[in-house]
Amino acid sequence: MMKTGRKWWLIAGVVVLVVGLVTGLLLTRPAGGSNPTDLGRTVEVVRGDIQQTLTVYGVVAPKQEYTFVFSGDQVEELLVSEGDQVTEGQVLVRLDRTQAELALLQAEQALKEAQAEGVPAVIKEKELAYQIAKEAYEKTVITAPFSGVVSEMSRPTAATENWSLTLIDTSELFVEVEVDQLDAPSLKVGLQGQATIEPLPDRSFPVEIVEIGGMAVEKGASTVVTVRGKLLETDPAILVGYTVELEVVVAEAKDVLLVPISALVESPRGWMAMKVVDGEVVPQPVVVGVTSDLYAEVKSGLSEGDLVLASPGRATTSAQEAASRPGVQFFGAPPGAPPGP
């Protein structure tokens, strides 16, 4: 039996895109010469295209970022400010190197003496000490590991004596969204969608899913998976941290049979539609494929042009008697939930 409902009420819900439906899909018409008020409103099974999309929310994220932390009393020269553009290898901060330089000279002298004595184990020890001292000396000059933007700088406070400096790489931009665990399996690397960035509401930007988190974590009342997508087009106006709405097509079908979601009922034996034949209602088992929140693909059980009740849950008593039995749920009557694929 198809999975139902819970995923339809979570973080993002599902947005419907039904393309090319035949005009008059929802047209009310008499069934087999009967007065439609006797059986309820009917619709024809038609052909068209359908898409199922998942809408989730997150933020714009950089390609990479790095945060430097260093002692405030060691700062000799601070060469950048928040918002500065920097290039790879550019000097950002110079720290006091007095102690580091002294330690390097001492390690160098000790290594020379060990080499003169010729004891291999001692030479190895002094070589390692020299390398450590050299690295410490080099770290007194902090350089940019990549080209990017200085996004944040924090000065020492009463709580910490350290400075911090964060550098972000904006050569490529991404969106990071949190997807409910029930929706995460529908997403795959390579799927594409459209991002709407809140400060730029009049435009949408194509996105390709590039990474799906390896674990789910609890957040509030939900359990979510972090998903990362690459913005295939960017704009200088897009800033890291902007709020994003991402819509991804997770399933689609073209030129298939379609009925409204409200025309489907669920029974212990599967999905059914209430087919109208010669003025009578006949429960008809169907196999459902791609669904949106308004329509469903019917893979088998119905033919193009068949008439079905549009909302079996609102049918008259005579129609319900023909269709109802223990275990049947009418999705036309609240509180129903549309079927999922």
Q: Is the pLDDT of residue 215 over 70?
A: yes
Q: Where are the alpha helices (DSSP H) in 26-119?
A: 36-39, 98-117
Q: Which domains does the chain have, with CATH numbers?
A: 6-55+253-330 (2.40.420.20), 57-63+172-247 (2.40.30.170), 65-168 (no CATH)
Least confidently predicted of 49-53, 243-247, 249-253, 266-270: 266-270
CA atoms of 78 and 287, how far apart (whole Å): 67
120-138 helix and 98-117 helix, angle to the nearest 10 degrees: 160
The strand pairing partners of 229, in sequence order, are 175, 209
CA atoms of 66 and 168, how far apart (whole Å): 7
User: At 188, is the secondary structure helix, strand, or coil?
Assistant: coil
pLDDT, mean of residues 229-250: 93
Q: How confident is the model at residue 318 (pLDDT cuts 50, 70, 90)?
A: very low
Summarize pLDDT for 103-129 with one digit per residue, the tens: 999 999 999 999 999 899 999 999 999
Q: Is the pLDDT of residue 283 over 80?
A: yes
To the nearest 10°, the Cα dihedral for 205, 210, 214, 217? -10
By the 10 Å C-beta count (0-12 exposed, 13-18 middle, 19+ buried), 65 is classed as middle
CA atoms of 138 and 253, how far apart (whole Å): 60
User: At 271, is the secondary structure helix, strand, or coil?
Assistant: strand
CA atoms of 257 and 135, how far apart (whole Å): 69
Q: Is the pLDDT of residue 332 over 80?
A: no
CA atoms of 176 and 181, how far apart (whole Å): 15
Summarize pLDDT for 139-169 with one digit per residue, the tens: 899 999 999 999 998 887 767 788 889 999 9
pTM for the full model? 0.64
Average pLDDT over the chain reads 82
Q: Which of 141, 133, 137, 23 is nearest to 75 (CA)?
A: 141
